[in-house]
Structure 1
């Protein structure tokens, strides 16, 4: 099977390419560094030529309102180029609960991407994942001020990126879902607790202070970013992952 991995040089995409090729498929990374421009569409026809499946693991360069324009253009161009190339399956990596947080520009943009995919001409699958273990450090940096990190108690259910990769490979090589599959880690943490666990494991002396309005996740209410009962739970626990990383 030949698969084009959009964003195929990033954290998730590069691992997906490697896993698919190790399994005997032909996976081609497509990104700006390989000559593909999602916004203009330049290079897409060439990248998708002879492709059976397109996996979109791309990301907007910003989290603000401009992300709406990014996903509107990129998804539209991918669908059009895929139809010209005879692609049989379009797969998008998205976020658990993404349609429940309209107050966040980036989440509205990802919801738009999903809706465009649903309305498109090609059989599709949407894989929604919770926040990655690998992004927790970045989340802490957003609201870090000297010796203090301000975090809300927003419930999160983080997952290892490697397990997102495995799920994306499984979905993209299977029959199109025609819908959504949710995947998540095995544990739910209030974000402020997750911050304390992370800093302690890293020997970081900063203190976490509860601030329900701090950062991107301060705009999220309730447990909408955690998985429902029908989600697939990955086995790796966050504390174990932290220990392995050390």
Structure 2
């Protein structure tokens, strides 16, 4: 099966391409580095032509007010090109609980992306994942002042990028869900505790101070980012990933 993977050279995309290729599919990675621009439309028609499945893993370069327009334009371009190219299935990666965090514009932008896909002309699947283990270093850096890291107690259920990629690859070769599949890691921790666990495993002189007003995740109400209802639990524990 020919599968076009947009954003196919990134953290998740490169793993999805590898997983699909190992399974015998013709998984073709596309990105800015291969001459495909989902905003201007450059190379998009050629990228998706003849693909049975289009996997869209492209992401807004910023989390700010520009993110809704990124997802609107990229989805419009990909849905139109995919429909013309005969794609029978489009897959995107979204965020568990994004619809429950209206105060974060990036999360509203991801909900917009989902809505555009649902109303589009191509049968679809949405994989919603919790926050990636690989992003914890970045999260710590956002609220570091000297040797202090300020973090709220927001509950998170981190998942490894490889587990996300395995799920996306599996969904891509299956029948369209015309719905969403939530996937999460096996453990729930408050973010401040995750910071301490991370720095205990990889000490660099910083220490965590609990501050429920600090950083982006302070805008998350309660346990909004924890899956509700049906969810697939991935196998990788954060402690094992760290080691």
- Normalised to the residue count of structure 2, the TM-score between the two structures is 0.99
Q: Bigger CA drift: 156-165 or 222-231?
A: 222-231
Structure 1 counterpart of 2:84: 84
Does residue 113 of structure 2 align to residue 113 of structure 1? yes
Structure 2 counterpart of 1:2: 2
Q: Aligned partners of 1:165, 1:202: CA distance in 2, in Å?
A: 25
Cα offset for 1:78? 0.5
Cα offset for 1:203? 2.0
Structure 1 counterpart of 2:55: 55
Unaligned runs of 5+ in 1: none
Cα offset for 1:129? 0.2
Cα offset for 1:103? 0.8
Cα offset for 1:229? 3.4
Cα offset for 1:52? 0.3
Does residue 162 of structure 2 align to residue 147 of structure 1? no
Structure 2 counterpart of 1:184: 184
Structure 2 counterpart of 1:45: 45
Matches within 5 A, 1:188-227: 188-227=188-227
- Normalised to the residue count of structure 1, the TM-score between the two structures is 0.98
Cα offset for 1:214? 0.7
SS at match of 1:228: coil
Cα offset for 1:107? 0.4
Cα offset for 1:49? 1.1
Structure 2 counterpart of 1:96: 96
Taking only aligned residues, the RMSD between alpha carbons, in angstroms, comes to 0.7
Structure 1 counterpart of 2:21: 21
Q: Aligned partners of 2:59, 2:81: CA distance in 1, in Å?
A: 18
Unaligned runs of 5+ in 2: none
Q: Aligned partners of 2:151, 2:84: CA distance in 1, in Å?
A: 47
Aligned residues: 243
Q: Aligned partners of 2:50, 2:34: CA distance in 1, in Å?
A: 17
Q: Aligned partners of 1:23, 1:46: CA distance in 2, in Å?
A: 24
Cα offset for 1:227? 1.5
Does residue 238 of structure 2 align to residue 238 of structure 1? yes
